[in-house]
Structure 1
Amino acid sequence: MFLILLKFSTNKARAPEVMADHVAWLKQGFDDGVFDLAGSLQPQLGGGILARAATRAEVEARVAADPFVIEDVVTAEILELTPSRASADFTFLLPEVAA
Structure 2
Amino acid sequence: MFVVTLTYTAPIERIDALLTEHRAWLDRQYAAGVLLASGPQLPRVGGIMLARAADRAALDAVLDGDPFRQADVATYHIVEFDPIKTAPELDFLRA
Q: Same fold, TM exceeding 0.5?
A: yes
The answer for the alignment partner of 1:6 in structure 2 is: 6
How far off its partner does 1:29 sit? 0.3
Name the amino acid aligned to 2:79: L
What is the identity percentage for the equivalent residue pairs of Structure 1 and Structure 2? 35
Residues 1-99 of structure 1 mapped to structure 2, 5 A cutoff: 1-95=1-95
Q: CA RMSD in A?
A: 1.4
Q: Is the 8 A contact 1:11 1:72 kept in 2?
A: no
C-alpha distance in structure 1 between counterparts of 2:41 and 2:74, whole Å: 12
What is the TM-score of this pair, normalised by structure 1? 0.86
SS in 2 for 1:79: strand
Computing the radius of gyration from Cα coordinates, the structure with the larger value is 1
Question: Would the alpha carbon gap of residues 54 and 28 (structure 1) be closer, same or farther in structure 2, given more than 3 Å must change?
Answer: farther
Name the amino acid aligned to 1:71: A
Q: Is the 8 A contact 1:12 1:73 kept in 2?
A: no
How far off its partner does 1:11 sit? 4.4
Q: Paired residues, what number?
A: 95
Gaps of 5+ in 1: none
C-alpha distance in structure 1 between counterparts of 2:62 and 2:11, whole Å: 20
Name the amino acid aligned to 1:85: K
Give structure 1 regions of 4+ aligned residues with deviation exceeding 3 angstroms. none
